[in-house]
Amino acid sequence: MNYSNTITLLLLLFFSTNSFAQQTDPVFKKEEIKEDLLYLYESLKEAHYDVYAYVTEEKLDSIYHKTRRSIDKNSLSLLEITNIFQQLTSAVNNGHTEIDFPISSYMNYAFQGGTLFPLELAFENNQCFIRKNFSLNPDIKIDSKIISINGKSMNEILSKIHPQISAERTYLKNAKLETYSFPRYYWQVFGQKDSFSVHIQEGESIKTYIIKSVSLIEDYEKKRDEILNAKMSLQFFESAAYINPGDFSGHEATYQSFIDSVFVSVNESKTKNLILDLRNNKGGDNSFSDYLVSYIADKPFKWNAQFTIKTSKFLKEHTRAHNDTTDVYFQNILSHKDGEIYDYTFDEYLPQDKQKRFEGDVYVLVNRQSHSQSAVTAAQIQDYDFGTIVGEETAEFPSLHASQFQYTLPNTGINVKVSKGYIVRVNGSKKLEGVLPDIQIQDHLLDDKDEILERLLDKLNK
């Protein structure tokens, strides 16, 4: 499982090197677009594990035909097509079935001198807070609430943006909107604006600010940090050791070497408490997370109670093109009939030798930005009672339709990501809820003030 964060890597590359050649969005004819829309609709039904898990057949069919009718121009740009097609994939209401943010269109806009809304937002308890201010107005305070932009209430604005974002529920839509950022999505849906009239609540009063847009490259992308920023690190506090394992992806040998070394240091320190940080984590592969868990486990374990896969001609084409077909896992995909759903059982993972393991108290930090395999891992640790979960409910479900793969639409070249599998958390619960912390602490604004870690350390220091 891997939560895509392609936009971060591309932005880092292009905005640091200026290597992206200025282009205009490609344009496609109405007939090509409608062919791809039909291909998208039929492929979702064929390739998805259960396309009607969170939407009725009648509702999805209605959205398809409404979407098709909306294609009324003789030609559309790639950005316009992406906006239309995203509304069909998001109607499936599955976070791992999606068309990504239109990165190439965004890059084209950037190098044409594009500008953006200059306030980055956090979405908490049905309210919209300012978490970053990139405007030229220093009087706009962080943690203030935005009421409206250009005469549209935030509820109205979000009702236009949410259909572009795939998710099982609004909580995850808003978490993804934080991840990819409100200014980017506001541009995608509403286009370029030179200035904004913003109503902002500061304490008991509501003030109106007129703010100008800012340069996408110089005043936004080059000044901000991505929210999904998990990085491998080890720290020691008075009462606990702290490990951030980073995302569960990359070079596996390097990852395992890091985990080996930090647990040697942790055990040598004789600390009684260990904190594992899975916040702001895009997820990845269970082979990484299981290796981490093996250092705190006191018995053999699995990362799921059940894992089932639906194979299809689309999945088989992807498998033959991108995977090692001598591997048993991928052989199973190829050997089953198209449309067949089957169980795939993972072997139990053994804990590390007793002398290598950490045997004190373990605390696992999570927040709404603990995505995909990081949420599954937090649930795994909770269900086996390997540790105490601290923070806020994850936006992603630990029992979920996931195990994502992708294919390309034939005319427009748009990539479509689809869930081929269904994962059930270790305790067998299929409830439509995130990982619920044992100790609840909200991560306000997702900023540099670390409420979750600070309050946990206060508790451990007593």
Give the pLDDT of residue 18: 55
Give the pLDDT of residue 1: 40
Tell which of 78, 110, 142 closes a domain.
110
| Helix, strand, or coil (residue 356) | coil
Please check whether residues 211 and 272 belong to one and the same domain: no
124 inside domain: yes
Please check whether residues 328 and 450 belong to one and the same domain: yes
Please check whether residues 242 and 144 belong to one and the same domain: no
226 inside domain: no
312 inside domain: yes
Q: What is the DSSP string of 58-120?
A: HHHHHHHHHHHHT--SSEEEHHHHHHHHHHHHHTT--TTSB----HHHHHHHHTTT-EE--EE
| Helix, strand, or coil (residue 54) | coil
Q: Which CATH number covers residue 155?
A: 2.30.42.10
- The count of structural domains within the chain is 3
Tell which of 110, 130, 157 closes a domain.
110
Q: Which CATH number covers residue 331?
A: 3.90.226.10
Q: Based on DSSP, count helices (H) and strands (E) in the chain, helices before strands.
A: 14, 20
228 inside domain: no
Enter the DSSP assignment of 30: H
Please check whether residues 122 and 89 belong to one and the same domain: no
201 inside domain: yes
Please check whether residues 95 and 119 belong to one and the same domain: no
227 inside domain: no
Is residue 36 within 8 A of residue 409, CB to CB? The reply is yes
Please check whether residues 26 and 129 belong to one and the same domain: no
Q: How far apart are CA 91 and CA 201, in angstroms?
A: 33
Please check whether residues 106 and 120 belong to one and the same domain: no
- Half-sphere exposure of residue 451: CA atoms within 13 angstroms, side-chain side: 13
Q: How far apart are CA 395 and CA 278, in angstroms?
A: 13
Tell which of 76, 110, 144 closes a domain.
110
Is residue 15 within 8 A of residue 221, CB to CB? The reply is yes
Q: Please choose, from the candidates 186, 102, 185, the residue with its C-alpha nearest in 3D space to the C-alpha of residue 149.
A: 186
Give the pLDDT of residue 35: 98
- Tens of each residue's pLDDT in the chain, 462 residues: 444 444 554 555 555 555 555 678 999 999 999 999 999 999 999 999 999 999 999 999 999 999 999 999 999 999 999 999 999 999 999 999 999 999 999 999 999 999 999 999 999 999 999 999 999 999 999 999 999 999 999 999 999 999 999 999 999 999 999 999 999 999 999 999 999 999 999 999 999 999 999 999 999 999 999 999 999 999 999 999 999 999 999 999 999 999 999 999 999 999 999 999 999 999 999 999 999 999 999 999 999 999 999 999 999 999 999 999 999 999 999 999 999 999 999 999 999 999 999 999 999 999 999 999 999 999 999 999 999 999 999 999 999 999 999 999 999 999 999 999 999 999 999 999 999 999 999 999 999 999 999 999 999 998
State the sign of the Cα–Cα–Cα–Cα dihedral 126, 131, 133, 139: positive
Is residue 103 within 8 A of residue 7, CB to CB? The reply is yes
Domain that includes residue 122, residue range = 115-221
Give the pLDDT of residue 2: 42
Please check whether residues 248 and 207 belong to one and the same domain: no
Q: How far apart are CA 163 and CA 142, in angstroms?
A: 28
Give the pLDDT of residue 16: 56
Q: How far apart are CA 205 and CA 203, in angstroms?
A: 6
Per the document, the length of the chain is 462
| Helix, strand, or coil (residue 258) | helix
Give the pLDDT of residue 422: 98
Give the pLDDT of residue 4: 44
390 inside domain: yes
Give the pLDDT of residue 95: 98
pTM assigned to the model: 0.95
Q: Which residues contact 315 (CB under 8 A, 6 or more apart)?
A: 47, 333, 405, 420
1 inside domain: no
